[in-house]
Amino acid sequence: MTTPLIYDLDLPKLAATLKYWGEPKFRATQIWQGLYQNLWATPDEFSNLPKKLRERMAAEFSFSHLAPVTSVNSSDGETQKTLFHLPDGRPIETVRMRYEKRRTLCISTQSGCAMGCVFCATGQMGYLRNLSSGEIIEQVLFYARQLALEGEQVTNIVVMGMGEPFHNYNATLAAIDRLNDPEGMKLGARRFTISTVGLIPSIERFADEQRQINLAISLHAADDELRSSMLPINKRYPIADLMKAVRAYTEKTHRRVTFEWALIREVNDTPEQAYKLAALLKGMLAHVNVIPLNPTDGFKGQATTPERAEAFKTILENHHIECSIRIRRGLDIQAGCGQLAQKTG
């Protein structure tokens, strides 16, 4: 029987364990702060704890489920991608992006993905398994420790790596809650963005929970025929139903939603699609993020041109829809959106 991963415990469960061990109440807070503030990775680093307690922690808990296999850096040095193997050998990838004022992590919630989006390398892999909340957290801690050595810290987290976060809802939100904990890592809720292909029941649940976490919807097409050909989930949750759920979310939370759109040349980068999208989003608290398609081995579509991207953006802005064209990052190491897959570099 494997020992539990310590990052899978929230503070109340950790406190209950320490109480069962006969330890004083304050020990749980010491351990919690050691994990999430001091970023200690092994029991030996907890120098403020008695040796006997450190030994018991080592015996009773695992402090790592992620085994780094390879880390690769983009040629401009701004992006790094790490391939990890989980204890069962399943792969995940995590990306760190360096911007002028931000240090952003793109983290995974599943090994593989069940959504099957045709232009996404993770979708082409298929679904392997969900990550636990602790395995999601450990990706953040891995890079937080690296950044700390450089005198820096994680500023933003996008839950846009491998997997559909809302297909692993409980673990994903539990991980964010732990990273957001004011007694722990203290990452503000608005520093997180969750991206979903549009699982309506989860969007409705997310709205009911009134969270301050940013929500992004991977839309990519403005009519059902085209969207279903690229995102199979659209057959289950068509655009009209999805828009109804998103509008309800914005009305309930008063928070802006981001719509993500991978521009594929002469497929969804046309004026017709831009006009349809403008009609869909009319009056909604929304922002559109367009990005030229990132190439993957399993999809033959081509990225849009800069001119077509600008034309698409202009149509939206003329209809009072905020739009920005994202700069593609880490393409030379397959670290861009939709490129994470089981590759060893």
Pick the CATH number of 67-333 from 3.20.20.70, 3.40.50.300, 3.30.470.20, 3.40.640.10: 3.20.20.70
Instruction: Tell me the whole-structure pTM to 2 decimals.
Output: 0.93
> Is 294 in contact with 303 (CB distance < 8 Å)?
yes
Percent of the chain with pLDDT over 70: 93
> Reduced to 3 states, what is the DSSP secondary structure of residue 318?
helix
Beta-sheet strands, E only, within 160-313:
192-196, 214-218, 257-263, 286-292
Could you give the CA distance from residue 269 to residue 295 in angstroms, rounded to a whole number? 16
Q: Which of 220, 121, 106 is nearest to 161 (CA)?
A: 106
pLDDT in tens, 172-212: 999 999 999 998 899 999 999 999 999 999 999 999 999 99
| 172: Cα separation from own chain's centroid | 9
> For residue 107, what are the contacts with CB-CB under 8 A and spacing of at least 6?
94, 136, 139, 140, 157, 158, 159, 161
> For residue 236, what are the contacts with CB-CB under 8 A and spacing of at least 6?
none
pLDDT in tens, 226-275: 999 999 999 999 999 999 999 999 999 999 999 999 999 999 999 999 99
What does the pLDDT read at residue 336? 47
What does the pLDDT read at residue 294? 72
Which residues are tagged catalytic? Answer: 93, 337
pLDDT in tens, 90-145: 999 999 998 888 999 999 999 999 998 888 878 778 899 999 999 999 999 999 99
Domain covering 6-60 in this structure, CATH number: 1.10.150.530
> Is 261 in contact with 304 (CB distance < 8 Å)?
no
Q: Please report, for residues 127, 178, 308, the alpha-carbon distance to residue 196 in angstroms, rounded to integers and kept in the order given.
A: 16, 21, 26
Domains 6-60 and 67-333 share a fold: no
Mean pLDDT confidence for 33-49: 97
pLDDT in tens, 60-95: 999 999 999 998 888 887 889 899 999 999 999 999
Beta sheet of 103-106, edge-to-edge order: 67-73, 79-85, 91-98, 103-106, 156-159, 192-196, 214-218, 257-263, 286-292, 322-325
> For residue 303, what are the contacts with CB-CB under 8 A and spacing of at least 6?
263, 264, 265, 292, 293, 294, 295
Beta-sheet strands, E only, within 182-305:
192-196, 214-218, 257-263, 286-292
Could you give the CA distance from residue 78 to residue 252 in angstroms, rounded to a whole number? 38
User: What residue segments make up the domains of the chain, in order of their start?
Assistant: 6-60, 67-333
